[in-house]
Structure 1
């Protein structure tokens, strides 16, 4: 599916299959900067994982990388699938999580277990969507993700043997973007090569759902006005929760939870 494909065709694809791929959707220069920044984020996250006793099964995983800025914020500024996301949610949306995975030979993590990223099956109600940004070519040899097509319509976890026997593999070039209904069951494949298989893993939700990390607070409340309108919306600056009566009693234009957030 190309970026020129109609939004209605994208919605049909996701409704029927649960996922859609936009091959080579990002510029090569941005992909290179994202790779570099992912390496930096991996070092930052790994230090905290080890310090807090969470080293097991988390090697190669990164969480909430957007708070480190750099190319991660640039990705949100240059995101080429905003119209598709708005159509999926039928309105505004916000960032729920911004992670990354560096899949290396013989170093599996929890993402290799079949899972879905929404804890409550939402059926036809679109609460969350996953986005994968491929920073390397995904091949069968280096651990292309398993996607169980159509499983977004089933409330129950599929048996693991059936999952791996029937799931499709996400084989796509570097720079591709994948969007899938968060009800879809998926798992990382095993990397049998000597090179890394890197990917960014983002989720977006309707604005009234709580973010996994308070991104406006982490980035700085005062910094919100420095972002373009669409980035400020995605980061959650328009869906903040007041903590005092002074913050609550404000005219609409100064409220923390802005109009149009669902």
Structure 2
């Protein structure tokens, strides 16, 4: 079974079968070249701000090229989430409504070794049948063998066993994909960023989506503002987490159902 499809030709049944067998799937041709350029331009600005904070707070080691929490009012993120690539697939995987857990990026350059280069999986507790988190990589440059295309140990999402690292790198598949592709994968899958041996950058967005009761990496509704959220589309309010908030006082708690911070359809 091939796990590489054209985004426009995808079907839910393909996703169901491939994500079960391999644990990951590639959709080529998802983003337009213009949108990729817009994202990369925004990342250049975002990188400077985040790197300054990492250095100021003394946590810059091994974080070269890592950009966290890119959901802002005036960059690409709202447009990306309002389109919501793979919405049906994510909803199926998580069993209904879902929210954004994190929207981050990696700008991987030659001789940089961020923590993402270590073999890892992104959930600490293995729950084979209970799916809490699904992840997405958006390729903003071509992913090649030479520039560090991600390693995925296909099928490793099915068992609660940490693979030997030598075995991992000998048997893992590589996510070779052109820029503008979307890679979806089960959070139980063991994976690692490869080494960039070129003089160019390998840029990518990394997003996670969870069931609504799962705590977000950042309180995005509070960060953007509750008033700001009132002007967003229903799709954005759901994905960003406005329908799955925690009240901070009794007045917010004691509200009629349609005004409650945590809506009844969130599971």
Q: 181-190 or 82-91, which moves further after superposition?
A: 82-91
Q: CA deviation at 1:258?
A: 0.7
Residues 146 and 188, structure 1, Cα contact 8 Å, conserved in 2? yes
2:203 match: 198
Instruction: Give the equivalent residue in structure 2 for 1:243.
Output: 248
3-state SS of paired residue (1:13) = helix
Q: How does 1:8-27 map to 2 (within 5 A)?
A: 8-27=13-32
- The count of residues paired between Structure 1 and Structure 2 equals 262
Q: What is the rounded CA distance, in whole Å, between the counterparts of 1:197 and 1:5 in structure 2?
A: 25
Over 3 Å counting, the alpha-carbon distance change for 1:68 and 1:163 in structure 2 is farther
Match for residue 2 of structure 1?
6
The alignment yields a C-alpha RMSD, in angstroms, of: 1.0
Task: Give the CA deviation at 1:6.
Answer: 1.6
Following the alignment from structure 1 to structure 2, what is the Cα–Cα distance between the partners of residues 160 and 116? 13
Q: CA deviation at 1:84?
A: 1.1
Match of 1:169 among 166, 169, 174: 174
1:111-126 equivalences under 5 Å are 111-126=116-131
Q: Which of 122, 128, 133 is 1:128 aligned to?
A: 133
| Gap runs ≥5 in structure 2 | none
The ranges of structure 1 where at least 4 consecutive aligned residues each deviate by more than 4 angstroms after the TM superposition are none
Matched with 1:153 is 158
Query: What CA distance in whole angstroms lies between the structure 1 residues aligned with 2:45 and 2:258?
Result: 38
Shift of 1:12: 1.1
Q: Find the aligned partners of 1:108 and 1:250 in 2 and give their Cα distance.
A: 49
Cα distance between partner residues in 2 of 1:116 and 1:164: 14
1:94 corresponds to 2:99: yes
**Mapped partners of 1:39, 1:115: distance in 2:** 27
Contact 1:77 1:231 in 2 (8 A): yes
1:28-86 CA distances to partner (integer Å, 9 max, x unpaired)?
11111011111111111101100000010001001111136411221111223111111
Question: Residues 19-98 of structure 1: matches in 2 within 5 Å?
Answer: 19-67=24-72, 69-98=74-103
2:221 to 208, 216, 221: 216
The residue aligned with 1:260 is 265
Q: For 1:182 and 1:21, locate their aligned partners in 2 and report how far apart those are by CA, in whole Å.
A: 15
Per-residue CA shift, 1:164-210, capped at 9, x if unaligned? 11100010000000110001111000001000000000000000000
